[in-house]
Amino acid sequence: MNRFALALAVCALLAPAQASAQTPAPDSSPTPVRNQYNDPAMSFTAPPEYYQVGLVPHDPAHFDESTVVAAWVANPGKREQLTITLSMENHDGTLDGFEMVSENEIRDKVDSVFFKKHELTKLANGMPAYWQEMSIGSGFDELKRFGYVWADGVRGISLTITGRYMLLDEPTAKKALAGAMGVAYPKNRL
C-alpha cells in the first residue's frame, strides 16, 4: 500500500467520527464508557484528549482477518493528529508467533516500513507483550508508529499509536497506551 492509500485508509477510519456519536447500545448491553474498550480478556482507556471513533461492534472472539475494533484520535484533521487503533485477529498460538505475524502483515500492507524496535515487555497488569517501534514512509510524509502486541490464547491483539515523524516519540506513545491491560481469554466462561 503506498502512502496515498494509507492516508485514504486513515481518512476512511476517521470519517464516522465526524458523522455522529456512537450508536446507542441495546437495552440488554451495558452503556459504553467514553474512551474505553472492554471485553472478556482486555481493557484499554485512552487519554481524555482523544476522541473515540464510532465503529460497528464486533464479536471479540471471532475474526476472519485483522479487524480494527476501536479507535481514538487527538487533534483530528490537523498536522499534529495522533491516532490510536486497537486491532484483533484469530490467533491461538504463541506471543512470539503473533509478534512475527503482526510484523509480516504490516510489511505486506504498507511500503517503506522499517522496524526499529521489537522488545519483550509487559502490559500495565503484567500480561506479556511486545513493544514495537516502526517508521512508515519517507520524507515529509513519514509516520512513526508505536504499539503493544500480545496474544491471549484466542486472539492476537495490536494496540498502536500513529503520528507524523518528529511529532510522536516513544515516551509520548507509552504514556498514551499505558491504560492497556490483558489476560488469557476465558474460553469456557458462560
Find the mean pLDDT for residues 170-180.
96
- Please say whether the beta carbons of 173 and 165 come within 8 A: no
**What is the Cα–Cα distance from 121 to 174, expressed in whole angstroms?**
12
Q: Output the nine-digit C-alpha cell for 173.
A: 506513545
Q: Which residue in the block uniquely carries the three cell numbers 465503529?
A: 55
Which pLDDT value is given to residue 190? 41
Could you read off the pLDDT of 31-63 as tens digits, one per residue? 456 789 999 999 999 999 999 998 888 887 888
Which pLDDT value is given to residue 33? 65
Which pLDDT value is given to residue 138? 80
Which pLDDT value is given to residue 27? 39
Which pLDDT value is given to residue 189? 60
Q: Output the nine-digit C-alpha cell for 81.
A: 493528529
Which pLDDT value is given to residue 5? 36
Ranges assigned E (strand) in 141-180: 143-151, 155-164
Instruction: State which H helix or E strand residue 175 sits in.
Output: helix 170-176
Could you read off the pLDDT of 2-41 as tens digits, one per residue? 443 343 344 334 333 333 334 334 434 444 567 899 999 9
Is 181's pLDDT higher than 80?
yes
Distance of CA 190 to the CA centre of its chain: 27
Could you read off the pLDDT of 91-143 as tens digits, one per residue? 999 999 999 988 888 888 887 888 899 999 999 999 999 999 999 888 778 89
Question: Quick one: which of 179, 158, 185, 155 has its CA closest to 40?
Answer: 185
